[in-house]
Chains A and B, each alone.
Chain A
Amino acid sequence: MNEQIKHPAVMNLARRDARDKLRGLTQYTIDHVKPGTLNAFLLRSEVASARILRIDISKARKMPGVRGIATAEDAPGFFGIGIADHPLFAKDVIRYDGEPIAAIAAETLEQAKAAAAAIELELAPMPALLTMAEALGDGAPLIHEDWKSYEVLLEGAARGGNIAWEAKVVRGNTDAAFARPDVTIVDSCFTVGRQNHVPFEPRAVVATFEDGRYHIKTSTQVPWTVRNVTARALGVPASQIRVTVPPVGGAFGLKFDCSLEPFAAILARKTGRPVALINSRREEMLTCLCRENAEIRIRSAVTPEGEIVGREATVLMDCGAYGGEQIFLTTMTAHTLGGNYKLGSVRLSSRAVYTNTAPNGAFRACNGVYNTFALERHTDEICAAIGMHPMEFRRRNVLGDGDLGSTGQVFEGEVLRPMLEKMDRLRGASPRFERLEDRRLFGRATTVGTWFIFVGPSAATVNLNADGSATLITSGVEIGSGTMTQSLPQIVAAQLGISPHEVIVKGADTDAAGFDLGVGGGRTTVSIGAASTAASEEVRRKVLEAASELLQTGVEELVLGGGRVEIRGKKGSGMTIAAVASHIQKTEGPVSGSGSFTNPGVDAMAGCAMGHFIDAIDIPVFAVHDCEVAVDPDTGHVEVLSYRVVQDVGRALNPRAIHSQIQGGVVQGMGYALHEDMSVGPDGRILQSGFETYRLPLALDVVPVEIELHEGAPSIGPLGTKGAGEVPILNVGATIACAVSRAIGKPVHSLPLTPPRVLGLIIDEARPLDLPHISRTWSDNTISNSRI
């Protein structure tokens, strides 16, 4: 915002790790495999569902180069989110194609593979449930026979049978709303496939066992989760585990969970040697913790004036063989599918469903991406049904100051409406495409999205060194978005009055910094930023107090800047911060400050949210996207002609870096909307095993995104910032789907919109999608207390 005085923390600081990355010198975890490190390989199941009758590793043990083999016996613990349903190795039962059965460490990878092939396995095949419809069918076998005995890690949710977790929202009386004589009822169904993060660096770990402790060097976003889950899986105290994190070659949420680390840890202890375990690209394709495939039914009761008096929806989320992230993510339906708009009454059911397929996980804006697709397409269908212009409907209904969210939280600030206005102006300023020179069909759409910043515990320490530099110690990881190298040093530097180049950012080490929930979901800037701010504030206070004594001037008259403490208004007065730091170090001891942060919590309405990890969001993030598309009526190819984003950032600490995140996130969204198809074959194996069949956007497939950053919305983040790296992908599926639907004049109910799918829509009669296994009677799609 132009009226704000530019804050010293705001700048387009260049990232400091670019040089080494450009010259190929950066050592990612995959580059830490030095001579002498053993190579590990996982024997993975090649069937989707079976009972393990016998495993015999005796032949494998004797194969050349083999130094250690681990199986289920070595990892007794179950882990998970919400419920502990996940053993490290398949234990008695195989639940998905690709499930680890044994881990082998050998001198070379080839030797490890040869040994894996020599492991004798006797299996009794069992029926495999490959779709959620099958898993929810009457009489469907249980994928987790012992589900009742699993340790519950968060109370209050319904679950049962093949439903790993169910989160519900009930606010107001939707039955009454739908029964009103003046409403139009619109019912829409949607289905989406999985999306694979394809970080260029696969999941990778190098582990050692030294002095009775495991040292795990891993490509992760969540060092503390790795520590704690590895401890549970191995059945050892968490204090025995140290996790450090080299530069990460992309993550996008795939690495927001513990995965390969415990295997390497066990083998490191067994062999007494460093052990490297790195997923091949094929393994990453077939066992990725994908954005889940999902099926949605959403119905709304809308008055002729466009008021949404009632909304009901059911979302089926495929968690694969184990609950994992999807259990947590059932929470996010309320804030996304139940977001954007004012609702008179609402009921939502979000169910994580087990299937005999590879477990899914978190990927940049998670279910927000497909929920926004479903919501915005549904909104367009409502507009068509009541004859209202889609932009007029959105203007009337978007959440504003004082409006209630689906769980009853009260939103603060007028954010979405001004953002819609900004998008209007952005659109008006660009060249228009509507008259295409060729035979193609033109479409355009503007969409609205709601996401959140994943606030939660973070800790930070700032050491002020005697030379005037500062060391920032957190468990934050640089995964590519730049926040560790930009926003954080910018914040600390501004607090301390030194240059960001003087702020040393220590790489994540669970032995050094306190607990952190992890990097992702906008956490780095907000949570780690807040903890870092608190830590810097403590250092700043100490410096000012000491300087005040040394300079015989009141603290209020002193300013920090340019590496100096100066008396306000007297340029050149005072002393260097280094001198103050040296002084304190000599007289009292080294200078440091510590900070800690977690979400204060926002109130939901009592009784509205059941089974939610987050009842109400502390920091919402809004986005308005707009695009123009051209569709080839003869081949179904969709070309995105232009793309615009207005993003709610609170405060832009590094505008250039945010622009980069938006360009990158939109392109990932284009992949989701148009190209990246993932499907499960009849044997339960993902069909897209590499880049030949999993099509990622290339330079030719993209357009430069026009961007406007919206500042000023309320945020408890440092300096009023909100995280900006995750949300750029949120509305892309929605925006492109709505535009394509308008271009071809047919409803769009599925993503991705690959050419064959679009051509099918064009040439077939318009047929609404119906999902018979999701009942139109909302309560049929919930677990009532009496049934369990």
Chain B
Amino acid sequence: MTLTLNGEDRLFYGDPMTPLVDVLRDTALLTGAKAVCREGFCGACTVHIDGVPTPSCLKPVGLVVGCDITSIEGLGIEDDGMTPLQQAFEDHDVVQCGMCFPGMVMTLTPFLRDNPEPTREAIKHALVGNICRCTGYERIIDAVLSMQSTGEISA
């Protein structure tokens, strides 16, 4: 199977029923997506499939042939850079264990592109599929809201 992964065509020779998250982690060695729950509840395995945030634990790799798959590693800027959303998280020192953050970034990036001035409530609704066990969320939301005042919303 030919997969388009972060803009590159890659060949995968395994079982088409393999969840995409395992192909990313074990074959492509892109370990940013984490298989935390394998149920679609936690959001830690979120990738973009044709731009749509998707839980990669529930997607058989055989069904994403021909799709554009973007993982957290493919989201960034070259040369050690970060997106404005990632920068906001770093500036506000909100990261703790870090396992949930790739998924948070993958969910919030298209959300903020489509909703440049969200309310606190709207952000919380957008994060219904992203669990964090460490931070208690509010400071993550603060960091996102801070982007509005700096005009840095576009991811």
CB neighbours (8 Å) of B36 from chain A are 200-201, 281
3 tightest A-B CB contacts, nearest first: A24-B32, A21-B98, A480-B97
Tell me whether B138 and A247 are in contact (CB under 8 A).
no
Instruction: Please give 13 more A-B residue pairs, beta carbons under 8 A apart, in addition to A200-B44, A281-B39.
Output: A12-B93, A17-B98, A24-B32, A28-B99, A31-B25, A247-B98, A250-B134, A280-B38, A281-B38, A668-B133, A691-B37, A691-B131, A700-B124
Cβ of B90 < 8 Å from any Cβ of A? yes
* Cβ of B155 under 8 Å from chain A: no
> Within the complex, what minimum Cβ distance (angstroms) separates B82 from chain A?
6
Q: Interface with B: A489-497, A498-506, A604-612, A702-710, which one?
A: A702-710
Q: Is the CB of A22 within 8 A of B101?
A: yes
Q: Which residues of B sit under 8 angstroms from A691, Cβ to Cβ?
A: 37, 39, 41-42, 131
A249's contact among B25, B41, B97, by CB below 8 Å, is which?
B97
Cross-chain contact B89 with A18 (CB below 8 angstroms): yes
Residues of A within 8 A of B141 (CB): 699
Could you tell me if B105 and A22 are in contact, using CB atoms closer than 8 angstroms? yes
Chain A's nearest CB lies how many Å from the CB of B131? 5
Q: Which residue of A lies closest to B71 (CB)?
A: A24
Nearest-Cβ distance from residue A107 to partner chain B, whole angstroms: 12
User: Judging by beta carbons under 8 Å apart, are B31 and A22 in contact?
Assistant: no
Residues of A contacting B128 in the complex (Cβ-Cβ under 8 angstroms)? 698-700
Task: Assess whether A705 is in contact with B98, with CB atoms less than 8 Å apart.
Answer: no
Asked if B136 and A702 sit within 8 Å, CB to CB, the answer is: yes
Give Cα A211 to B38, complex, Å: 38
Given contacts A18-B89, A23-B82, A281-B37, contact A663 B135 (CB under 8 A): yes
Given known A22-B90, A690-B39, A696-B133, contact A15–B95 (CB-CB < 8 A) = yes
Count B-side interface residues using an 8 Å CB cutoff. Answer: 52
22 contacts between A and B (CB under 8 A): A15-B93, A15-B95, A19-B82, A22-B89, A24-B33, A24-B73, A200-B97, A200-B100, A247-B98, A660-B93, A663-B137, A663-B139, A664-B136, A668-B133, A690-B37, A690-B39, A691-B41, A698-B128, A698-B137, A699-B124, A699-B140, A700-B125
Whose C-beta in chain B lies nearest to the C-beta of A486?
B93
Interface hits, A649-698 → B, CB 8 Å: 656-657, 659-660, 663-668, 690-692, 696-698
Question: When the two chains form their complex, are residues B127 and A698 in contact, meaning their CB atoms are under 8 A apart?
Answer: yes
For the complex, is B123 an interface residue (Cβ under 8 Å from A)?
yes
From residue 60 to 80 of chain B, which have CB atoms closer than 8 A to chain A? Answer: 71-73, 76, 80
Give A292 Cβ to nearest chain B Cβ, in Å.
Answer: 20
Find residues 62-115 in chain A having any chain B CB closer than 8 Å to their own CB. none
- Does B34 interact with chain A (Cβ within 8 Å)? yes
Interface check A479, CB cutoff 8 A: yes
Q: Which residue of A lies closest to B88 (CB)?
A: A22
- Contact partner of A18 (CB less than 8 A), chosen from B32, B98, B131, B138, is B98
Report the bound CA distance from A709 to B77 in whole Å. 39
Contact A22–B86 (Cβ < 8 Å): yes
- Expressed in whole angstroms, the Cα–Cα distance for A691 and B138 within the complex equals 21
Residue B94 is within 8 A (CB to CB) of chain A in the complex: yes
The distance in angstroms between the C-alpha atoms of A102 and B102, with both chains bound, is 35
Task: Report A172-208 CB contacts with B as 1/0, cut-off 8 Å.
Answer: 0000000000000000000000000111110000000
Interface of B is mostly: loop
Most-contacted residue by chain B among A22, A280, A281 (CB, 10 A): A22
Contact partner of B97 among A250, A657, A659, A667, CB < 8 A?
A250
B115 CB within 8 Å of chain A:
no
Q: How far is the CA of A21 from the CA of B34 in the complex (A)?
A: 12
| A481 CB within 8 Å of chain B | yes
**Number of A residues, CB within 8 Å of B:** 56
Complex Cα gap A699–B123 (Å): 9
Contact of A699 among B91, B102, B137 (CB under 8 A): B137
Taking the closest CB of chain B, its distance from the CB of A734, in whole angstroms, is 18
List residues of chain B with CB under 8 Å of any chain A CB. 25-26, 30-34, 36-39, 41-42, 44, 71-73, 76, 80, 82, 86, 89-91, 93-102, 105, 123-125, 127-128, 130-141
B135 near A660 (CB under 8 angstroms)?
Answer: yes
Q: Is chain A's interface secondary structure helix, strand, loop, or mixed overall?
A: loop
B105 to chain A minimum Cβ distance, whole angstroms, is 7
- Nearest A residue to B106, CB-CB: A24
Complexed CA–CA distance, A660 and B94 (Å): 7
Q: Which of A15, A30, A699, A703 contacts B127 (CB 8 A)?
A: A699
| Known A12-B93, A200-B42, A657-B93; contact A480-B136, beta-carbon cutoff 8 A | no
Q: Which of A5-49 contact B (CB under 8 A)?
A: 12, 14-15, 17-28, 30-31, 33
B137 to chain A, nearest CB (A): 4
Which of B90, B105, B133, B135 contacts A198 (CB under 8 A)? B133
**Residues on A with beta carbons closer than 8 Å to the beta carbon of B44:** 200
Asked whether B96 lies within 8 Å of A664 as measured between CB atoms, the reply is: yes
| A232–chain B nearest beta-carbon distance, Å | 29
Q: Which of B98, B99, B131, B135 has the most CB of A within 10 A?
A: B98
Neighbouring B residues of A659 by C-beta, 8 Å: 139
Q: Most chain-B CB neighbours within 10 Å: which of A15, A18, A27, A690? A: A18
Please tell me if the beta carbons of A692 and B135 are within 8 angstroms of each other in the complex.
Answer: no
- Residues of A contacting B130 in the complex (Cβ-Cβ under 8 angstroms): 699
| Chain B residues within an 8 Å CB radius of A17 | 95, 98
Q: How far is the CB of B125 from chain A (nearest CB, A)?
A: 7
Contacts of B38 in A (CB 8 A): 280-281
A162 to chain B, nearest CB (A): 33
Residues on A with beta carbons closer than 8 Å to the beta carbon of B140: 699
- Determine how close the nearest CB of chain A comes to the CB of B58; give it in whole angstroms: 13
Q: Do B31 and A480 touch (CB < 8 A)?
A: no
A27, A200, A702: which contacts B99 (Cβ < 8 A)?
A200
A310 in the interface, Cβ–Cβ < 8 Å?
no
Q: How far is the CA of A564 from the CA of B90 in the complex (A)?
A: 29
Residues B134 and A480 in contact, CB atoms below 8 Å apart? yes
A23–B32 CB distance below 8 A: yes
Of all chain A residues, which has the CB nearest B73? A24
Return chain B residues, CB-CB under 8 Å to A33.
26
Within the complex, what minimum Cβ distance (angstroms) separates B129 from chain A?
A: 9
